[in-house]
Amino acid sequence: MTRAFLFLAVAALAAAQNLQDVLKQGETVFSKSCATGYCHGARGASGGAPRLAARGFDQAFIANTVTRGVPSTAMPAFGTTLSRADLNAVVAYVASLNGVANLTTNSGPPGAVAAKLTGDAARGRDLFSDAVRGFGRCSTCHEIGGIGIAVTTPIAKVPADAAALKALATPQVSTVTVAAESMPALVVGKKANAVIFYDLTSAPPVLRTELPASIQTREGSTWRHSPVIRLYNDAELSAILTYLRTAVKL
Amino acid sequence: MRIPAFLVLALLPLSGQDAGVTHNDWLHYGGTQFSWRYSALDQINTSNVKNLLPAWIFQTGDYSEYLGSTPIVADGVLYLISASARVFALDAAKGTVIWQYRYPTPRPGIAGSHSDFIQNRGVALSDGKVIFGTRDNFLVALDQKTGREMWKVSVDDPKQCGCNDLSAPLVVKDKVIVGGNGGDQAHRGYLTAFYTKTGRLAWRWYVVPAPGEKGNETWKGDSWRYGGGSPWLTGSFDPDLNLVYWGTGNAAADFYDADRVAAGTNKSKDVNLYTASVVALDADTGKLRWHFQEVPDDIWDYDSAYEVLLMDRQIRGQMRKVLVHMNKSGLTFVLDRITGEFLSSFNVPEVFNWMTGVTEDGKLVGRNEPALGKTQSFCPSTAGAKSWNSTAYSPRTGFLYTPTNELCNDITSNATKPTEGRFFMNGDFPATLPPNRSTYSHVDAWDPITGKRIWSVPYKYILLSSMLATAGDLVFTGDPEGNFFALDARSGNKLWSFQTGAGHRGASIAYSVGGRQYIAVTTGFQQTIVGGAALGLFPDESFRAGSTLVVFALPEGSR
């Protein structure tokens, strides 16, 4: 138990360090490519082009716009001119200007993963977002390559097998109590006047915004990953893991 | 002349059915959950409507879009959503802003799919919340008092399904039910109910049954997976029967059926269930209670997704609980709403060639179908003998008021295979004007029980705005040129008209605050989809976009 927590703490620290580096890189790219007076201005505060800071943009939207540009405007498609690392960094930076809570450092152009898969990985990709499974599919909470709803942070580490996927520990899920009702929750934002969290009681998760004074939060929950993936059998989960291994590497 | 109240009661062709009537408030998309778009207010009536003047005007700021939503009014507050999901709570007497909310610009859906169009058809009000769908397919609830976001839930992934949920949700007891579009994409349509209190899922009903479910046998092979049927508008609710009524969309692919209908299928029976149907669902569980398929094997894109009007009427000497439902073809069905039994039908457009008639038990006769690789003209067009703008029903006259269009289209089918979420219409269908006419639409009054047209007022272009009927014996609607006008509900005589400055593609409502009656109308014409087609058909006209609410009342002191 202690060791697991220690591991998570170290991993979190490493992730935070990595994020700071990425944001720094993003700021550099932004100041060179985006911040001129004709365009978005320093720190996205606006220039000849629209303000980018505090616009409520989500990261996927930013990634798409940066990658593809905006047709019939001066906004170019940077997907072909910036390196993958620079593109990811500048997207994360603009997302940070918009107060995005769970920053992704690997946005990737939407659909990039989809094209080149075969065999189990291709089957896993289809299962990941299989419409027939309704809200019981992975993409109800996870986004990869522009497909899915990014309830959670991007998948960074792929479990070894179906058993490990079912046994996945989720210490980031806490318990929130609102009006005497307790629910498993993923807290994604805390501001002076609001706590924003996903209620994980049932699928799909519901993003709730509550006044800080009206809720109580405690660590840990009874929420488990295994029941929410019950519509997949072990062979299907295994195919999905094969897909994830490919997609996360890409 | 106004008719004394005791005479009105004697004239009423039906029982004292108040559930369909709005009073001071306008609480639902269709006025009430019976979807009549009828107000009991009569301060503005046939004798004084000529004095009607703007009381206040409100601009949402979405001036390059269109305003297609139906406003909601409760306790003197008007709730309005713009095309890009700016939401406003306005003082309904003065137009001043109480609060405003702006949904963040969403990530784009699949380019060219329905998820890519900027529009919204209205909010729902329940449980102290203002609830609406978004372009990126979330359902969002705001605090009715402050506009603060309370919950937000993903209905589907528009990047995958090419679909979203921009119709006004229907409030049913402790739930809010929302239909989605996407039936012209490779997609399998559904209705989804969420609890208004928490945003949690209550139930989902798929229009197209999966293998093992009844009705799946009406689909060839795997075609059910992308069978369409999306119920993309707003349904109705009968609290006494605890049934929710909804119209479902076209089968997909729209114009080519060989992959979804087995060769030799008998098309006088149900085909591709439950597309192009009216369905009755248990309000608590979402379980199907009955269905009536209006267009078996819909191969003309005549979805049946339109509004369902619930009324009690005398039929052959017996009071019946019926529903009246028009689909895109203009064929209008009267069904027993307890059982789904077919009672009668009537056909609203003057120009039609897709069938020759309907049998006494509700079956289509003389089907004329598109054929692969051949270009043929079909009427009405896929834009509809009526578009998604609603009809209205007055219990005083007993008439259904319809905005009917006379258009055709040249359909050329193809056999393209589906890709999930991408367009799956399998045909080209440029709209055309039928020959030998100088007018291409009309406002009609129909007796839905006898199927008789009582009066008809022609208009030179097409009509794409909802109807409003009031107890002042007035019928209101607007045209693409910007005229908002009132007709005498009994004769169709035009009594008043006002140029609002931009075309009409939304709705008008009636409400009252502090004893003063108001008529509010949304203005700003749609430049894409059906509105865009209209611009193409009448290239010399400029049916202008915009996003303005114009609110009329009788001048103070003149009432």
> What are A56-112's pLDDT values in tens digits?
788 888 888 888 777 656 677 787 667 778 888 899 999 888 888 777 776 654 444
Interchain proximity B107–A208, CB inside 8 Å: no
Q: What is chain B's mean pLDDT, rounded? A: 95
Cite the active site residues of B: 301
Contacts of B198 in chain A (CB under 8 A): 199, 201, 206
Contacts of A205 in chain B (CB under 8 A): 153
Q: Which of B153, B161, B204 minimises the CB distance to A206? A: B153
d(CA B10, CA A65): 64
- Token pair belonging to B18: 């108040």
What are the φ/ψ torsions at residue B410 (nearest 5 degrees)? -90, 105
| pTM of structure | 0.86
Beta strands (DSSP E) in B327-467 are: 331-336, 342-347, 357-358, 364-365, 375-378, 392-394, 399-405, 408-413, 427-428, 431-432, 441-447, 452-459
Between vectors from CA A190 to CA A189 and to CA A195, what angle results, nearest 5°?
Answer: 90
**If you count DSSP H runs as helices and E runs as strands, how many of each does chain A have, helices first?**
7, 5
pLDDT digits (tens, 9 = 90+) for B463-510: 999 999 999 999 999 999 999 999 999 999 999 999 999 999 999 999
Interchain proximity A61–B225, CB inside 8 Å: no
- Token pair belonging to B359: 């049998």
Contacts of B159 in chain A (CB under 8 A): 110, 146-148
Q: Which of B152, B188, B225 minimises the CB distance to A207? A: B152
Q: Which run of H or of E encompasses B159?
A: helix B158-161
Burial class (CB in 10 A: 0-12, 13-18, 19+), A112: middle
Q: What is the mean pLDDT of residues B161-171?
A: 96
Contacts of B107 in chain A (CB under 8 A): 58, 60-61, 64
pLDDT digits (tens, 9 = 90+) for B367-404: 999 999 899 999 999 999 999 999 999 999 999 999 99
Strands A174-178, B342-347: parallel, antiparallel or unpaired by DSSP? unpaired
Q: What is the mean pLDDT of residues B112-137?
A: 92
Tens-digit pLDDT profile for chain A (250 aa)? 344 444 444 444 456 667 888 888 898 888 777 877 677 777 887 766 677 887 778 888 888 888 877 765 667 778 766 777 888 889 999 988 888 877 777 665 444 444 578 899 999 999 999 999 999 999 999 999 889 999 998 888 899 999 999 999 999 999 999 999 999 999 999 989 999 999 999 999 999 999 999 999 999 999 999 999 999 999 999 999 999 998 876 5
Q: Which of A57, A149, A206 minimises the CB distance to B199? A: A206
- Give the pLDDT of residue A115: 54
d(CA B96, CA B160): 40
DSSP B384: -
- Give the pLDDT of residue A11: 45
- Give the pLDDT of residue B461: 98
Confidence band for B12, pLDDT divided at 50, 70 and 90: very low
- Give the pLDDT of residue A41: 75
Instruction: Please count the residues of chain B.
Output: 559
d(CA B360, CA B327): 18
Residue A233 CB partners (closer than 8 Å, separation 6+):
none
State whether the Cα torsion A136-A140-B184-B87 is positive or negative.
positive
Tell me the angle at which helices A234-249 and A119-128 cross, rounded to the nearest 10 degrees: 100
Q: Give the best residue of B84, B87, B100, B107 to mutate against chain A (max A CB count within 10 A).
A: B107
Contacts of A60 in chain B (CB under 8 A): 107
Beta strands (DSSP E) in A54-212 are: 174-178, 181-191, 194-199, 206-210
DSSP B228: B
Q: Are B526 and B35 in contact (CB under 8 A)?
A: no
Q: Which of A61, A139, A208 minimises the CB distance to B106? A: A61
Nearest residue of A to residue B107, measured between CA atoms: A61
Q: Which run of H or of E encompasses A225?
A: helix A225-228
Interchain proximity A206–B104, CB inside 8 Å: no
Nearest residue of A to residue B149, measured between CA atoms: A209
